[in-house]
Amino acid sequence: MQVSGAAETEASYRDNRAVFEEYGFMHRVLRDVSKRETSVTLFGKTYSAPFGIAPMGISSLSGYRGDLAQAQAAEQAGIPMILSGSSLIRLEEVVEAAPDTWFQAYLPAEVSDINRLVDRVAQAGVKTLVITVDSAVVPNRENNLRTGFKTPLKPNLKLFWDGVTHPSWSIGTFLRTLAYHGMPYFENNAAERGSAILSRSAVRDFSGREHLDWETLRSIRRRWQGQLVIKGLLHPEDVALARDLGADGVILSNHGGRQLDGAISPMRALPKAMEVSGDMSVMVDSGFRRGTDVIKALALGAKFVFIGRPFNYAASIGGEAGVQHAIGLLMSELRADMGMLGINQLHELHPSMLVHLTRPTFDN
């Protein structure tokens, strides 16, 4: 439930999927589509597909060494993976294994701590820094309350029973991690190692960040020499502010429905964002599951799409090979979708290929 659930009534989570049913394709036929190519160029680098793996905290708790499994599979496939600041494997180790890994940060409360974290990320060799900005306060994830999930993890009868009834996880992930790597720690929330996941001092909430503002990001932009991406925007005025401060890109996101319940799907925010984005790369996440979902976002102007939960599930079941398989499935769908749309290159996609569907209403 920690992975699959969302905030409160899960209205945003549902809207993230519902929005794709509101767009239909107007495809062309009898075109030579024998030279289809799914690659795209982003920040001067060519990727094999227009999607990457979104940042997900504690992935190494849901699957053995999950952060590494995702990063290495992405590197092998030629797509980017964004390592979460709430990950349990040191970013230096992940970047050494997968040098093209991006890093996503939740900003510490103090300016000095922010600067030291940014410097650490740069020294690790990360080229693209992603700052998540939709987590100023703690969200109300009622599903976590119902399932008893919280940090620090506290041993109790329910946790013991879950371990007994799910031996593949308790033995293959948790106990295996303890045996080979010791107790997991929050490794990347700050410049220094954080607390152990079972420690009473473990703090993974976002309290103390309420005062962070656009001036904070301007100071990071001056300090950070690599690509800077702002994640968690929906409002076009915020997209314009990101453009003006010199961000290289934005990721439209409602955090997979895990923050403000009722926040619109990023797909609904995409057309307005494109109007004000200028030269920035506009990317999007939340709710993407199929190749047709990715195609619809690209047709509306998005440069790139990030996908989270499916790759987390793949890593928990099959490790790196599972993630590679999931990536391959999505790439195959994209190639088939392009052929049926009548295009060979993704830059041929255009809003005119989509029809916004209206659903019939019925009187009571």
Task: Name 40's bridge partners.
Answer: 47
- Which residue out of 255, 325, 347, 350 is catalytically annotated? 255
- 275-298: pLDDT as tens digits: 999 999 999 999 999 999 999 999
Residue 206 has pLDDT above 80, yes or no: no
pLDDT band (50, 70, 90) for residue 200: low
- 324-356: pLDDT as tens digits: 999 999 999 999 999 999 999 999 999 999 999
Token look-up 């990347």 returns: 188
* Helix 66-77, helix 309-341: angle, nearest 10: 20
206 phi and psi angles, rounded to 5 deg: -110, 25
Task: Name 232's bridge partners.
Answer: none
In three-state form (DSSP H/G/I as H, E/B as E, the rest C), the secondary structure along 261-311 is CCCCCHHHHHHHHHHHCCCCEEEEECCCCCHHHHHHHHHCCCCEEEECHHH
Distance CA 192, CA 88 (A): 13
User: How many Å is the maximal CA-CA distance in the chain?
Assistant: 64
Residue 139 has pLDDT above 90, yes or no: no
**pLDDT confidence of residue 362:** 45
Distance CA 359, CA 151 (A): 43
Catalytic site residue 166? Answer: no
pLDDT band (50, 70, 90) for residue 210: confident
Distance CA 153, CA 200 (A): 9
pLDDT band (50, 70, 90) for residue 197: confident
**pLDDT confidence of residue 364:** 47
Lowest mean pLDDT among 11-15, 96-100, 344-348: 11-15
Average pLDDT of the segment spanning 48-66: 94
Closest listed residue to residue 205, CA positions, set 288, 113, 130, 141: 141
